[in-house]
Amino acid sequence: MAERGLFDGVFARGGADTGDQAWLTAMLQTEAALARALERAGLAPPGAGAAVTEAARAGAFDAAELGRQAALTGNPVPALVRALARCVPAYAAAAVHKGATSQDIIDTAAMLLARRALAAAAADMAAAADATAALAARHRDTVMIGRTLLQQAVPVTFGLVAAGWLTGLDEARAGLDRVRAGRLAVQFGGAAGTLASLGADGPRVAALLAGELGLPLPALPWHTDRLRIVEVAASCVGAAAVLGKIARDVTLLAQSEVAEVREGEPGVAEVREGGPGVAEVREGDEPGAGARRGGSSAMPHKRNPVAAIAILGCTRQVPGLLATLTAAAEQEHQRAAGAWHSEWEPFSGLLRLTGSAASWGAELLAGLTADPARMRANVDAAGGFPLAERVSGLLAPAVGAVAAHDLVAEASAVATAAGQPLRTALLGDPDLRGRLDAAGVTPAQVEAALDPASYLGAAGEFVDAALAAHRAGAG
């Protein structure tokens, strides 16, 4: 098992393994598949493909040593090819790397890594979407305050909030699936994209290689056409954007002063904020033993929204990686000098961080709990001011839109100055009450207009539409 890094618990969750061993495995899979393709094309002796495949086991190669030797050639493939050739019988050695260039191996390995990483991220996004659909259905009519520009707005429902998360998750997952299904491709072009060393057999070997790896065969090699890399990255950025939006909402709704949602307790080790003490973790300990999710090393009362925070820690890094990959897409002539090399680490990081964020997202949403009573209390604590728009609409037919707006604005100012709810000012101030009476507006109508549950517009229909779209997409 690969050594786990200090920050991997946050940034390397899920199934997007893009570490050294994963890259090495993917490169060796490509070399083995090429040997089998050459044998099938009659360009390698019988048994050569099986011999190379048997030798191409990542555990038999030292990734660190290959990395050191990469300093001699600018990439690790030449050292890997030499090491692999030494591990096969003499008759099979000529089948190792025949017709290929280093970029063929690394680009194809990148496609294999992306295929696995995108599938894992999409699965976690689907799980997150299913959990969110349950939240949206359960809280279809749960009233909460809407917030625009971080200020209280008109009432909404938590079901509508969850439905917005749901459509984002579904669309982002579809984007991952679309790229995985249609934009990955084998890379096999030889020195300058002509496969000249294989003569007339080049295109046939390329097709056989694609078949061996289960990757699509492109119309021609894409050494300096990096649109596939950019599209993989863009699909990851879309997923990260959706997950980041959800996580940010959760951190805001989970604030002590708001307390409308809270994360679940999955039973994993405590994440500490800082301080002098470090808990000892022993091999074999149960995850979370003696620890509480969201705890603080300094403040025992804290319950931090760790999953949401971890998602944001991942997603904040993703846009910069996309920018690097986009800048690297400008590549000269038939093979790039440096731009291609600059892709490897950001591409790995982007897949890893997106996969980790998706894994955290599935956990977050599966355990997220809403507090309808707190949501209603926060609505009521707003004093009716978020319903001012509706009261203006009630008055407008009688006195005109401008006069209605001015009257409600005056009532709001009176109520604010006195520390009263809007209802008290409208019905208790003699002048304002008289103007309402003159407009033919009764106290019962004012009371009805200030009921947040009756001013939700099409929220319920929108939730139903999001759920129907989710069911259709899942089907």
Query: At 311, is the secondary structure helix, strand, or coil?
Result: helix
The CA-CA-CA angle for residues 354, 16, 282, to 5°, reads 105
Q: Residue 416 corresponds to which tokens in the numbers above? A: 């604010």
Is 197 labeled as catalytic in the residue annotation? no
- Where residue 358 falls (left for φ over 0; alpha for ψ -120 to 50; beta otherwise) is alpha
For 426, what's the count of Cα atoms within 13 Å in the CB-facing half-sphere? 30
Q: What is the DSSP string of 187-211?
A: ---TTTTS-GGGGGGHHHHHHHHHH
* Cα 333 from Cα 74, distance rounded (Å): 18
What are 157's strand-pairing partners? Answer: 143
Is 102 labeled as catalytic in the residue annotation? no
Annotated catalytic residue within 138, 178, 303, 335: 335
What are 148's strand-pairing partners? Answer: 151
Annotated catalytic residue within 40, 138, 292, 296: 296
CA 183 to each of CA 100, 277, 342: distance values in angstroms, whole numbers, following the listed order = 22, 49, 21
Query: b vs e for 329-339, b when ≥16 Cβ sit within 10 Å of the residue's Cβ?
Result: bebeeebbeeb
- Work out the number of other CB atoms within 10 angstroms of the CB of residue 439: 16
Q: Of the candidates 268, 251, 269, which has an alpha carbon nearest to the alpha carbon of residue 260?
A: 251
CA 53 to chain centroid, in Å, comes to 35
Q: What is the DSSP string of 123-190?
A: HHHHHHHHHHHHHHHHTTT-EEEEEETTEEEEEEEHHHHHHHHHHHHHHHHHHHHHHHHHT------T
What are 151's strand-pairing partners? Answer: 148
* Residues of the chain by 3-state class (helix, strand, coil), percent to 5: 65, 5, 35
266, 367 Cβ separation under 8 angstroms: yes
Catalytic (active-site) positions = 296, 335
